[in-house]
Structure 1
Amino acid sequence: MTLPTRLLWSLLIAACLVGGVTWAILLLRPPNQLTLAAGPEDGAYHRIAVQYRAILARDDIALRILETAGSAENARLLADGTADVAILQGGIDVAGETVEAIGTIFYEPLVLLYAANALISPNPTHWAGLRINSGVEGSGTRAAFDAFEQAVGLRPDANEHSALGYSDSIAALLDGQLDLAVFVAPIDAPYLRAAFESGAIGVLQLDFIEAISRRMDNASLVQIPPGTVSLDPPIPSGPRQMLALEARLAVRHDMHPALMNRLTMAALELHGGRDILQDEGDFPSVSGTVLPVNNSARQLIVNGPSTWHDWLPYWMAAQLNRVVILLLPLFFIVLPLLRALPGLYAYAQNYRVWQNYPVMRTIEDELESGSDPVTLDEMAERLTELDDHLAHLRLPAAYRQTAFQARVHIDLLQRRIITERRRLAAEAEETASVAAGAESTATS
Structure 2
Amino acid sequence: MKAQRPRTPQFHGEHTHAEWRDHLLPWLVTALLVAFIVVLVVWVVNPAPPRTITISAGPRDSSFIVTANQYRKILARNGIRLNVLESDGSVQNLKRLMDPQQHVDLALVQGGVAQGIDTSSLISLGSMFYVPVVVFYRGAGLTQLSDLEGKRVAIGREGSGTRLLALQLLAANDIEPGGRTTLVPSDGLEAATQLVAGNVDAAILSGDSATRGLMLRLLKVPGVSVMNFDEANAYTRLFPFLDQIDLPPGVLDLKRRIPPETVHLISPTVELVARGNLHPAISDLLIEAAQEVHGKAGLLQRAGQFPNPVEHEYPISEDALRYYRTGKGFLYRTLPFWLASIGDRALVLLLPLAVLLVPAMRVIPALYRWRVRSRIYRYYGSLIAIERHALAGATDDERAKLLARLDEIEVALNSLRMPLAYADAFYVLREHVGFVRSRLTAARPVETS
Task: State whether structure 2 residue 159 is matched by structure 1 residue 138.
Answer: yes
Q: Could you tell me how far apart the structure 1 residues matched to 2:230 and 2:343 are?
A: 53
- Structure 1 regions of 5+ residues with no counterpart? 345-392, 396-444
Q: Could you tell me how far apart the structure 2 residues matched to 1:159 and 1:97 are?
A: 36
Q: 1:234 to 1:82 in 2, by over 3 A?
A: farther
Is the 8 Å Cα contact of residues 257 and 318 (structure 1) preserved in structure 2?
A: no
The equivalent residue for 1:168 is: 190
Is the 8 Å Cα contact of residues 125 and 154 (structure 1) preserved in structure 2?
A: yes
User: What displacement does 1:316 show?
Assistant: 4.1
The equivalent residue for 2:77 is: 58
Is the 8 Å Cα contact of residues 145 and 182 (structure 1) preserved in structure 2?
A: yes
Once the two structures are superposed, residues 381-438 of structure 1 have per-residue CA deviations (whole angstroms, 9 ceiling, x without a partner) of: xxxxxxxxxxxx969xxxxxxxxxxxxxxxxxxxxxxxxxxxxxxxxxxxxxxxxxxx
The equivalent residue for 2:280 is: 257
SS in 2 for 1:309: helix
Once the two structures are superposed, residues 336-389 of structure 1 have per-residue CA deviations (whole angstroms, 9 ceiling, x without a partner) of: x98xxx9x9xxxxxxxxxxxxxxxxxxxxxxxxxxxxxxxxxxxxxxxxxxxxx
Once the two structures are superposed, residues 181-238 of structure 1 have per-residue CA deviations (whole angstroms, 9 ceiling, x without a partner) of: 1122279736645644654543211333322332223222112212323323333222
The equivalent residue for 1:109 is: 132
Q: 1:221 to 1:105 in 2, by over 3 A?
A: same
User: What displacement does 1:95 show?
Assistant: 4.2
Once the two structures are superposed, residues 92-142 of structure 1 have per-residue CA deviations (whole angstroms, 9 ceiling, x without a partner) of: 225454321111112222111224xx3573222232221111112221111
SS in 1 for 2:128: strand
The equivalent residue for 2:390 is: none
SS in 2 for 1:234: coil
Task: State whether structure 2 residue 308 is matched by structure 1 residue 289.
Answer: no
Once the two structures are superposed, residues 142-193 of structure 1 have per-residue CA deviations (whole angstroms, 9 ceiling, x without a partner) of: 1211221233333332311111142211222222212111122279736645
- Aligned residue type for 1:179: D
Q: Could you tell me how far apart the structure 2 residues matched to 1:183 and 1:232 are?
A: 25
Q: Could you tell me how far apart the structure 2 residues matched to 1:86 and 1:113 are?
A: 29
The equivalent residue for 1:361 is: none
The equivalent residue for 2:143 is: 122
Q: 1:102 to 1:316 in 2, by over 3 A?
A: farther
- Aligned residue type for 1:238: E
The equivalent residue for 1:183 is: 205
SS in 2 for 1:101: strand
Is the 8 Å Cα contact of residues 152 and 184 (structure 2) preserved in structure 1?
A: yes
* Pick aligned residue for 1:67 from 86, 108, 125: 86
SS in 2 for 1:49: helix
The equivalent residue for 2:56 is: 37
Q: Could you tell me how far apart the structure 1 residues matched to 2:321 and 2:126 are?
A: 8
SS in 2 for 1:308: helix
Q: Could you tell me how far apart the structure 1 residues matched to 2:245 and 2:129 are?
A: 12
The equivalent residue for 2:68 is: 49
Q: 1:314 to 1:233 in 2, by over 3 A?
A: farther
Q: 1:315 to 1:260 in 2, by over 3 A?
A: farther
Once the two structures are superposed, residues 58-84 of structure 1 have per-residue CA deviations (whole angstroms, 9 ceiling, x without a partner) of: 234333322222111110011113422
Once the two structures are superposed, residues 271-325 of structure 1 have per-residue CA deviations (whole angstroms, 9 ceiling, x without a partner) of: 223334333333222222321222222211221123333432224435655775x
Task: State whether structure 2 residue 236 is matched by structure 1 residue 217.
Answer: no
Is the 8 Å Cα contact of residues 123 and 314 (structure 2) preserved in structure 1?
A: yes
Q: Could you tell me how far apart the structure 1 residues matched to 2:324 and 2:208 are?
A: 22
Q: 1:34 to 1:119 in 2, by over 3 A?
A: same
The equivalent residue for 1:373 is: none
- Aligned residue type for 2:126: G
Q: 1:99 to 1:158 in 2, by over 3 A?
A: same
SS in 1 for 2:84: strand
- Aligned residue type for 2:153: I
The equivalent residue for 1:231 is: 254
Q: 1:322 to 1:162 in 2, by over 3 A?
A: farther
Is the 8 Å Cα contact of residues 284 and 301 (structure 1) preserved in structure 2?
A: no
Q: 1:252 to 1:119 in 2, by over 3 A?
A: same
Q: Could you tell me how far apart the structure 2 residues matched to 1:63 and 1:259 are?
A: 11
* Pick aligned residue for 2:230 from 180, 204, 207: 207
Moved over 6 A (4+): none
Q: Could you tell me how far apart the structure 1 residues matched to 2:89 and 2:68 are?
A: 13
Q: Could you tell me how far apart the structure 2 residues matched to 1:155 and 1:284 are?
A: 35
The equivalent residue for 2:105 is: 84
Is the 8 Å Cα contact of residues 48 and 341 (structure 2) preserved in structure 1?
A: no
Q: Could you tell me how far apart the structure 1 residues matched to 2:345 and 2:219 are?
A: 50
Q: 1:121 to 1:240 in 2, by over 3 A?
A: closer
- Aligned residue type for 2:259: P
* Pick aligned residue for 1:153 from 158, 174, 189: 174
Is the 8 Å Cα contact of residues 219 and 226 (structure 2) preserved in structure 1?
A: no
- Give aligned-pair identity as a percent: 28
Is the 8 Å Cα contact of residues 169 and 181 (structure 1) preserved in structure 2?
A: yes
* Pick aligned residue for 2:268 from 245, 264, 273: 245
- Aligned residue type for 2:51: N
The equivalent residue for 1:312 is: 335
Q: Could you tell me how far apart the structure 2 residues matched to 1:316 and 1:170 are?
A: 52
Q: 1:30 to 1:317 in 2, by over 3 A?
A: same
- Structure 2 regions of 5+ residues with no counterpart? 1-15, 33-37, 363-419, 423-449
**How many equivalent residue pairs?**
325
Is the 8 Å Cα contact of residues 106 and 273 (structure 2) preserved in structure 1?
A: yes
Scaled by the length of structure 1, what TM-score is found?
Answer: 0.62
Question: Relative contact order: is structure 1 or structure 2 higher (C-alpha 8 Å, sep ≥ 6)?
Answer: 2
- Aligned residue type for 1:138: G
Is the 8 Å Cα contact of residues 245 and 265 (structure 2) preserved in structure 1?
A: yes
Is the 8 Å Cα contact of residues 30 and 258 (structure 1) preserved in structure 2?
A: yes
Is the 8 Å Cα contact of residues 152 and 200 (structure 2) preserved in structure 1?
A: yes
Scaled by the length of structure 2, what TM-score is found?
Answer: 0.62
